[in-house]
């Protein structure tokens, strides 16, 4: 059996190399890209507790600081991409629908999870995961050619871009409230201090980055800030991902150097994400995935997204937007690695078992397949043909 740190880095290399090989192999063979993070989690699962059992059973516990740092880094990235100036440019109805559709679908899925006995902790986590829709697939398809329905594609992109904000808020607030009371400051004061710390460190980052021109020093400073945020947030019993996201949003909206921070943050996004996903795989025990969780996240969330997409299509038509399809919600089904990151966060916070995690993971893969197939077959149908000819 290998030791924690080495085991972790070996897992990381295998996961990254596996993902690269898969990408090379699938290039030119399939038009629908695989679920991002799937190989990473799979490698972890095959070599970890669920598979060969090569690595220590307490790997996740031993590397908790790495997981906290990784989650806070993802949170910072989400925050850095939250730009109020961009929100002002879109029409109010688009803004409302963009937030309401994922929030509504997530709330319905969360309520259903509570009804089938997932518990409050699991239901909040599931609600947050259900709100997330990935913009990645659209980006991939767009590279092969224009969509058949440009207006529908724009609306789907809008929602997928905004969906991470309600998801992160629900996740962060929910997880913070789920921490048992008994801290030295009291729950309300801890939340206020956590938010205050995020704001102060966000402004501090702007000041710190002003004179830094070399990317490596920007990266070092960001790493320090995120470590400080993750550690301090955990110490005062608030959610590190949300705290980092608030700091990221401050940097993005109050500074003129947000692009520097974003570039540096993106530079190690893949290793950070891979690190936490591979740990998720290694932590997962061989349990039958929870059918109830899977059904809620696929069936209930899918129905809610399709209904929300229909409502959005109706509102859009009312505002004079010409749409060829009403099934916008189908395009909101695919979910990205942010959903998996939330799952890791939930697992670190406790209260998530392997069956629950397996249920969510299975549902994410199914949602990706259904939503991806719809996009491929309907939204980008003509583009695929013309793209093929072009190629």
CB contact at 8 A, 209 and 237: no
Max distance between CA atoms of the chain, in angstroms, equals: 66
CB contact at 8 A, 146 and 383: yes
CB of 279 to another protein, least distance (A): 14
Tokens of 218: 């920007």
CB-nearer residue toward another protein: 72 or 258: 72
Residue with tokens 């249920």: 359
CB-nearer residue toward another protein: 2 or 87: 2
CB contact at 8 A, 340 and 277: yes
What lies within 8 Å, CB to CB, of 204 at 6+ separation is 225
CB-nearer residue toward another protein: 235 or 291: 235
CB of 335 to another protein, least distance (A): 25
Which residue ranges make up the site for another protein (CB under 8 A)? 2-3, 5-6, 9-10, 12-13, 16-17, 20, 64-65, 68-69, 183-185, 197, 200-201, 204, 207-208, 211, 216-217, 219-221, 223-232, 234-237, 271
CB of 10 to another protein, least distance (A): 6
| Angstrom distances, CA of residue 205 to CA of 74, 165, 209, 364, 370 | 16, 21, 6, 35, 41
Tokens of 188: 């309300």
CB-nearer residue toward another protein: 6 or 52: 6
Q: 335: helix, coil or strand?
A: coil
CB of 182 to another protein, least distance (A): 9
Say if residue 123 is exposed, middle or buried (CB neighbours under 10 Å; 0-12, 13-18, 19+): buried
C-alpha R_g of the chain: 21
CB-nearer residue toward another protein: 221 or 355: 221
CB of 61 to another protein, least distance (A): 9
CB-nearer residue toward another protein: 87 or 179: 179
CB of 251 to another protein, least distance (A): 14
CB-nearer residue toward another protein: 37 or 110: 37
CB contact at 8 A, 217 and 265: no
CB of 108 to another protein, least distance (A): 35
CA quadruple 156, 159, 160, 161: dihedral sign: positive
CB contact at 8 A, 196 and 238: no
């Amino acid at each position: 059996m290998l030791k924690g740190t080495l085991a972790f880095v070996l897992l990381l290399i295998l996961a990254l190399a596996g993902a690269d090989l898969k990408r090379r192999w699938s290039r030119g063979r399939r038009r629908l890209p695989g679920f991002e993070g799937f190989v990473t989690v799979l490698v972890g699962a095959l070599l970890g507790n669920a598979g060969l059992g090569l690595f220590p059973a307490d790997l996740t516990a031993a590397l908790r600081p790495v997981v906290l740092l990784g989650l806070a880094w993802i949170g910072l990235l989400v925050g850095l991409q939250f730009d109020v100036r961009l929100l002002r440019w879109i029409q109010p109805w688009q803004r409302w629908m963009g937030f309401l559709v994922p929030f509504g679908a997530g709330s319905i899925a969360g309520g259903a999870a509570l009804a089938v006995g997932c518990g409050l902790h699991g239901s909040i986590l599931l609600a947050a995961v259900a709100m997330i829709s990935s913009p990645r697939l659209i980006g991939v398809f767009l590279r092969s050619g224009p969509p058949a329905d440009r207006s529908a594609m724009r609306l789907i992109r809008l929602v997928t871009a905004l969906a991470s904000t309600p998801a992160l808020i629900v996740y962060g607030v929910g997880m913070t409230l789920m921490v048992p009371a008994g801290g030295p400051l009291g729950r309300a004061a801890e939340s206020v201090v956590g938010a205050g710390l995020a704001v102060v460190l966000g402004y501090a980052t702007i000041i710190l980055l002003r004179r830094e021109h070399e990317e490596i020093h920007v990266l070092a400073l960001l790493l320090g800030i995120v470590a400080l945020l993750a550690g301090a947030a955990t110490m005062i019993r608030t959610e590190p991902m949300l705290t980092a996201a608030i700091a990221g949003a401050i940097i993005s909206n109050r500074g003129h150097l947000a692009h520097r921070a974003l570039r540096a943050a993106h530079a190690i996004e893949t290793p950070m994400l891979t690190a936490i996903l591979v740990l998720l795989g290694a932590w997962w025990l061989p349990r039958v995935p929870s059918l109830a969780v899977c059904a809620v996240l696929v069936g209930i969330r899918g129905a809610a997204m399709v209904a929300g997409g229909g409502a959005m299509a109706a509102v859009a038509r009312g505002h004079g937007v010409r749409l060829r399809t009403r099934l916008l919600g189908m395009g909101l089904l695919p979910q990205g690695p942010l959903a998996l990151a939330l799952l890791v966060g939930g697992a670190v916070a406790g209260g998530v078992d392997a069956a629950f995690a397996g249920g969510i993971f299975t549902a994410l893969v199914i949602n990706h397949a259904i939503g991806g197939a719809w996009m491929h077959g309907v939204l980008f149908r003509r583009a695929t043909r013309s793209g093929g000819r072009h190629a």
